[in-house]
């Protein structure tokens, strides 16, 4: 699987990563090498094998619907890069 710079840019935009031209070039090389390596998995016939999502396969882990104290607002906003003391602030979201 050969990744072109165009492929890399498309993935980078999906990943919301700003990448320099230099990074695009090295990423194309590295990712192509890694994808080439992982192709060994195609040697294995996995028809009918149930994918294993969890290392320990539990089910029905639930909590009761009872209130737990929330964080004070100051704590909730304490790590915000920008806030007005009430809300997180972000650059204007263009809706339409």
Under the criterion CB under 8 A, does residue 22 sit at the interface with other proteins? no
Its sign, for the CA torsion 19, 24, 28, 29, is: negative
Least Å from the CB of residue 6 to other proteins: 13
Select from 36, 22, 27, 23 the least CA-distant residue to 4: 27
Under the criterion CB under 8 A, does residue 2 sit at the interface with other proteins? no
Please work out the total of residues on this chain that contact other proteins, with binding judged by CB under 8 A.
71
Q: Considering only residues 32-91, where is the footprint of other proteins by CB under 8 A?
A: 33-35, 37-38, 40-44, 46, 49-73, 75-82, 84, 86-91
Report the alpha-carbon distance of residue 85 to residue 88 in Å, rounded.
8
């Amino acid at each position: 699987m050969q990744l072109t710079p165009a492929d890399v840019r498309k993935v980078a935009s999906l990943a919301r990563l700003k990448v320099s031209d230099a990074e695009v070039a090295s990423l194309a090389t590295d990712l192509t090498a890694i994808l080439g390596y992982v192709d060994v998995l195609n040697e294995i016939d996995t028809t009918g094998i149930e994918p294993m999502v969890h290392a320990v396969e539990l089910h029905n882990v639930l909590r009761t619907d009872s209130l737990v104290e929330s964080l004070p607002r100051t704590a909730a906003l304490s790590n915000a890069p920008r806030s007005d003391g009430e809300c997180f602030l972000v650059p204007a979201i263009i809706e339409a």
